[in-house]
Amino acid sequence: MTYPPSLQVPADDERFWAAVRAEFDASEDFINLENGFFGMPSRPVQEAFEAYSRMVNREAACFMRNRFPQRLAQVVETLAGFSGVAPEELVIVRNPTEGMNILIQGYPFRAGDEVVIGNQDYDSVDEALAMMQQRGRFSIVRVALPFHPRDDDEIVDAYECAITPKTRVMVLTHMLHRTGQILPVAKIARMARSRGIDVFVDAAHSFAHLDYRLPELESDFVVAHLHKWLGAPLGVGLLHVRKERIAEIAPLFGDTRYPAGDIRKLAHFGTRPPAAILAIEDAIAFHNRIGGRSKEARLRYLKDYWVSRVKDFERIVMMTPQAPERACAIAAFKVQGMEPARVADYLFEEHRIFTVATGAAGESFVRVTPHLYNTTGQLDRLAKAIGSLLQGVGGAKR
Ligand SMILES: Cc1ncc(COP(=O)(O)O)c(C=O)c1O
């Protein structure tokens, strides 16, 4: 069943989504609702990856020497077209940790600079900043982010209030990994730019999840995963630096080969396994076959499906805002008076539903992340399991 690519597939067209689901080989031993860790590649991507692996190992050095450089350039070009930037502004990295370290360690900070970051951003990004702070390169200024913002202005204002004359860079996460909250990154970046501040965007979770192209983030520096929502095999991410800014970033991995303004100077990684990189094109083809708008709408629909069934239970507290523009597939909840690890263990041990206990900014909760291959029936089972857990401890439906 196919729709013309320009049409949005209705999020509740179960016949269409069943056909999509049939292209994934998810384990039937349990219900996986922890798809925020990495995005299971579809079968076509997995098969392409395996074929590339066999080909690389058959052709060995001959492939690596004679063909990989051109194939890599071709993949970068395809990815650039998909992302809305020029190939000369893109590096394929292993993951956002690598991309963020290239930015954080390569940016020309001056003594006394301050870097602003929220209190719900990703741990390895925090650690890269903390390491550089320990080395005396800059000081970190932390912004407390609300779990349920009133509007965009509340968030933009929170970042604006953290600015001092010493602020040089803001690190922004487009979609917070633990609660799934979407930040108005373009608005914050615009405000920052008007104050002469650069923005590094961590688009790990939003890329190929929300339907947008990188320039819409209005930031000169962006990192993202390709093995989360794009569904490429594990081990690939992207780093985007706007052309005019490349010369300012010093390579993290030693390079004397490329001129200062050539982004390949940031990509001197040594030998890398090519199969996942080659399969990025297949992941883009699969994504485009569904369509970014349809995919985003279906993911939000699946999240709303389970949330609408549990949010009014007594003792349930949602940690993710409800407005459609503030979240998509990822959402988190807590059960008042119960350790999140106990909730996650109960769901897995009693109902074979896999979620994750996590936390942020002094709160702890359970994160639930459906993917395109999850069914509404599985989400009904989640809602029922949460209901039974609450009944077991004396909770009742409101
Ligand atoms: C928002 C965010 N940033 C960065 C990362 C780092 O990803 P990785 O460990 O693959 O580098 C993650 C990982 O889940 C994330 O969710």
- 306-320 tens-digit pLDDT: 999 999 999 999 999
Exposure class string for 317-328: b at 16+ Cβ within 10 A, else e: ebbbbeeeebbb
Q: Which atom of ligand 1 is nearest to the CA of 227?
A: 10
Task: Report the amino acid identity of residue 136.
Answer: G
pTM: 0.96
What confidence score (pLDDT) does residue 104 get?
98
| CA–centroid distance, residue 14 to ligand 1 (Å) | 31
Nearest ligand 1 atom to the CA of 99 is 11
How confident is the model over 12-30, as pLDDT tens digits? 999 999 999 999 999 999 9
Residue bearing the CA closest to ligand 1, atom 11: 97
**What is the pLDDT confidence band of residue 396, given thresholds at 50, 70 and 90?**
very low
pLDDT at 398 over 60: no
Residue 331 CA to residue 321 CA, distance in Å, equals 8
- pLDDT for res 135: 97
- 202 in ligand 1 pocket by Cβ < 6 Å? yes
Greatest distance between any 2 Cα atoms in the chain: 67
DSSP 297-331: HHHHHHHHHHHHHHTTBTTEEE-S--SGGG-SS-E
For range 370-393, the mean pLDDT: 95
Mean pLDDT in residue range 68-92: 98
Residue 245's CB is within 10 A of a number of other CB atoms, namely 15
The CATH architecture to which 14-32+291-392 belongs is Alpha-Beta Complex (3.90)
Ligand 1 nearest atom to the CA of residue 36, by list position: 14
Residue 2: the pLDDT is 57
CATH T-level assignment (fold) for domain 47-286: Aspartate Aminotransferase; domain 2 (3.40.640)
**Ligand 1, residues 93, 95, 175, 226: which to mutate, most atoms within 8 A of Cβ?**
95
Check if 179 has its Cβ closer than 6 Å to any atom of ligand 1.
no
Each residue's pLDDT tens digit, 112-153: 999 999 999 999 999 999 999 999 999 999 999 999 999 999
Beta-bridged to residue 356, according to DSSP, are 367
Q: Please tell me if the domain spanning 14-32+291-392 has the same topology as the one spanning 47-286.
A: no
| Three-state secondary-structure class, residue 214 | helix
Q: Is 97 in the pocket of ligand 1 (CB under 6 A)?
A: yes
CA 172 to centroid of ligand 1, rounded, Å: 13
Residue 7 CA, ligand 1 centroid: distance in Å: 32
pLDDT averaged over every residue in the chain: 96
Instruction: Give the amino acid at 15.
Output: R
The answer to whether the CB of 173 is under 6 A from ligand 1 is yes
Tell me if 320 sits within 8 A of 179, measured CB to CB: yes
The closest-lying atom of ligand 1 relative to the alpha carbon of residue 96 is 11
CA–CA dist 41, 136 (Å, integer) = 41
Report helix, strand or coil for 110: coil
pLDDT at 227 over 90: yes
Q: Is 367 in the pocket of ligand 1 (CB under 6 A)?
A: no
Residue in 35, 100, 178, 202 to alter for ligand 1 test, most ligand atoms within 8 A of Cβ = 202
Domain residue ranges in the chain: 14-32+291-392, 47-286
Interatomic CA distance for residues 324 and 329, integer angstroms: 10
Distances (CA, A) of 263 to 91, 92, 173, 199: 7, 11, 23, 18
For range 37-43, the mean pLDDT: 97
Confidence of residue 7 (pLDDT cuts 50, 70, 90): confident
